[in-house]
Amino acid sequence: MPVGRVVRIVGGFYYLQNERGETVVAVPRGKLRQSGNIFVGDLVDYEMLPSDQGVIENVHPRKTELKRPYVANVTQVALVFAHKDPDFNYCLIDRFLVMLEAYHLPTLLVFNKSDLVEAECAEENAEPYRKIGYRTVCTSTKTRQGRAEMLAELAGEATTLAGPSGVGKSALINMIVPEYQLKTGKVSEKIGRGRHTTREVQLLPLPEKKGFLFDTPGFTRLDLDFISPRDLTHCFIEFAEFNPECRFVGCLHQQEPDCAVKAAVQEGKIFSWRYEHYLLFLEELKKLEARQYLRSGENRSKRR
Ligand SMILES: Nc1nc2c(ncn2[C@@H]2O[C@H](COP(=O)(O)OP(=O)(O)OP(=O)(O)O)[C@@H](O)[C@H]2O)c(=O)[nH]1
Ligand SMILES: [Mg+2]
Ligand SMILES: [Zn+2]
């Protein structure tokens, strides 16, 4: 049976690219269609009908999957933010980073629109994340700054771009592969946010079989409902070396005595704003957990 990779999903039709590089339009067979469990990036077995339409029979096991946005088999995520328009926001960046750490996906941080700020400001925005241990690139699709660095980081990888609307994800892909000419949209002056120009996930092969890029719709809200309060500490990668030194196993680094993470914050070894974001997210997760617990209690009493 031929094998194809899902490159786009539009109105119930699945666009596959097969091993010969041809595009096939297919629909999933009954049960598979109901499950809705086919993502862009999936490898599928399909059969051709005499009408020249494909029927997807089976989805290969995924190596990785990400649910926001829905993509399969990516090997890394390029998290894109803008230095300006929309505003640079450390808290939002940390929120996205928590998600990717929870999914255990390697992350490249891309800070775009470098042309809109002074070089020192761009450096100041990126440097803390480099210190924490993330790979970072400052780019501009206007001056083409960072293009060579991006190409080097993307080579041989299946990279999904992710990040808020209007930061320039599609524009970056156009900078890297100009032939794609993806649609881009102006950031609204009134509300300072993107206009959700990209509406669907799309897989775009890099030239010379050097890997894949996924363009994705931006999102502005991100709930941290995929992780437990206990696991949050592991999503702040710079806490890792201090975690084992806390007096209590499972220390949440709040009021506990002899907390090595809090000590590291005081000694300036952990950025205090990162720790503050940690506390903020922790409170959010605790509230969420309490709400879920109450709801499960209601269900229990209903069943009785
Ligand atoms: N000054 C400047 N503007 C940029 C840069 N990159 C993109 N833009 C502009 O930013 C706006 C948004 O770009 P898009 O590529 O549509 O942003 P996106 O992240 O794909 O947004 P969604 O598809 O809505 O998620 C467009 O008007 C682009 O021209 C840049 O490096 N510098
Ligand atoms: Mg876009
Ligand atoms: Zn602690």
Most distant pair of Cα atoms in the chain: their distance? 71
For residue 161, count CB atoms less than 10 angstroms from its CB and return exposed for 0-12, middle for 13-18, buried for 19 or more.
buried
| Cis-peptide into 106, omega within 30 deg | no
Top mutation candidate among 118, 170, 213 for ligand 1, by most atoms within 8 Å of CB: 170
229-303: what fold?
Answer: Ribonucleotide Reductase Protein R1; domain 1 (1.10.40)
82 φ/ψ angles, rounded to the nearest 5 degrees: -110, 145
pLDDT of 171 over the 80 cut: yes
How far is Cα of residue 245 from the mean position of the Cα atoms in its chain?
A: 31
Give pLDDT tens digits for 70-91: 999 999 999 999 999 999 999 9
Q: What's residue 39's pLDDT? A: 96
Give pLDDT tens digits for 3-57: 999 999 998 899 999 999 899 999 999 888 888 799 999 999 999 999 999 999 9
Q: What is d(CA 229, CA 33) in angstroms, rounded to the nearest whole number? A: 35
For the segment 278-291, the average pLDDT, to the nearest whole number, is: 94
Q: What is d(CA 186, CA 166) in angstroms, rounded to the nearest whole number? A: 7
Q: What's residue 297's pLDDT? A: 79
Q: What is d(CA 67, CA 217) in angstroms, rounded to the nearest whole number? A: 13
Q: What's residue 243's pLDDT? A: 96
Top mutation candidate among 174, 197, 219 for ligand 1, by most atoms within 8 Å of CB: 197
Percent of the chain at pLDDT above 90?
A: 84
Q: What's residue 189's pLDDT? A: 81
Q: Is 275 left (phi over 0), alpha (psi -120 to 50) or beta?
A: alpha
293 φ/ψ angles, rounded to the nearest 5 degrees: -65, -45
CATH class for domain 3-59? mainly beta
Which ranges in the chain are annotated with CATH 1.10.40.50? 229-303
Q: What's residue 14's pLDDT? A: 97
Average pLDDT, the chain: 94
**Cα–Cα nearest to 143, from 170, 164, 120, 172:** 172
Ligand 1: atom nearest CA of 161 is 19
Can you identify the CATH homologous superfamily of domain 65-215? P-loop containing nucleotide triphosphate hydrolases (3.40.50.300)
**Cα–Cα nearest to 215, from 176, 253, 245:** 176
Ligand 1: atom nearest CA of 195 is 24
Residue 295, C-beta contacts closer than 8 angstroms, at least 6 positions apart: none
For the segment 143-153, the average pLDDT, to the nearest whole number, is: 97
Distance 221 CA to ligand 2 centre (A): 16
Q: What's residue 94's pLDDT? A: 97
CB-based contact 164:86 (threshold 8 Å): yes
Q: What's residue 119's pLDDT? A: 96
What pTM was estimated for this model as a whole?
A: 0.93
Element (H, E) at 119: helix 119-132
Which ranges in the chain are annotated with CATH 3.40.50.300? 65-215
Q: What is d(CA 95, CA 274) in angstroms, rounded to the nearest whole number? A: 10
Which ranges in the chain are annotated with CATH 2.40.50.140? 3-59
Residue 304 pLDDT level (bands cut at 50, 70, 90): low
Q: What's residue 275's pLDDT? A: 98
Q: What's residue 191's pLDDT? A: 79
Element (H, E) at 229: helix 229-232
